[in-house]
Amino acid sequence: MHEFGLVISMIDLAEEAARKEGADVIEAIHVEIGALSGVVPEALEFAFGGARAGTMAATARLEVTYLPAIAYCATCQSEFELDNRFGIAMCPTCDTPSADLRQGREMHVSHLEVA
């Protein structure tokens, strides 16, 4: 449960970007969370509710996009989406486990809506 710390970082990044644009209010923060990031959606939303008070994002919405985990199979030379939430990357074509995770660890602020 480290979502509170993450939310503080998120608001810091958002405020910095909003200020740079001369905005006064952050109306929404759009984030991308990978399936294997370890971030729990409910905990993130709960933490955001507590952390946003007194910031430029005090009334902001939190919009979350969940990115599926994608691995690369060196044998088939193709990417595939993991068919489980458990981080097991078995190539659906040749059944070889892959260690090459191309997407799924993300915790990004992608964009903001500001006024």
Partner 1 sequence: MADPVATRDVRVSPHGTAVTPGARVVQVQKSLMTHNDGVAAANRAAFEGCLVLNIVSSPGSGKTALLERSVRELAGDLRVAVVVGDLETDNDAIRIHAAGAPSVQIVTGTVCHLEAEMVARAVDQLDLAGLDVLVIENVGNLVCPASWDLGEDLRVTLLSTTEGEDKPLKYPRIFKDADAVVINKVDIAEAVGFDRERALDAVAKVSPGTPVFELSARTGEGMDAWLAFVRERLAAKRG
Q: Which of 41, 58, 75, 92 binds partner 1 (CB under 8 A)?
A: 92
Write the burial class of residue 29 (CB in 10 Å: 0-12 exposed, 13-18 middle, 19+ buried).
Answer: buried
| Helices and strands of the chain, counted as H and E runs | 2, 6
C-alpha closest to that of 111 among 52, 50, 48, 63: 63
- In the complex with partner 1, the residue whose CB is nearer, 55 or 111, is 111
Residue 45 interacts with partner 1 (CB under 8 A)? no
Minimum CB separation of residue 53 from partner 1 in Å reads 19
Residue 41 binds to partner 1 (criterion: CB under 8 A): no
Count of residues in contact with partner 1, rule CB under 8 A: 56
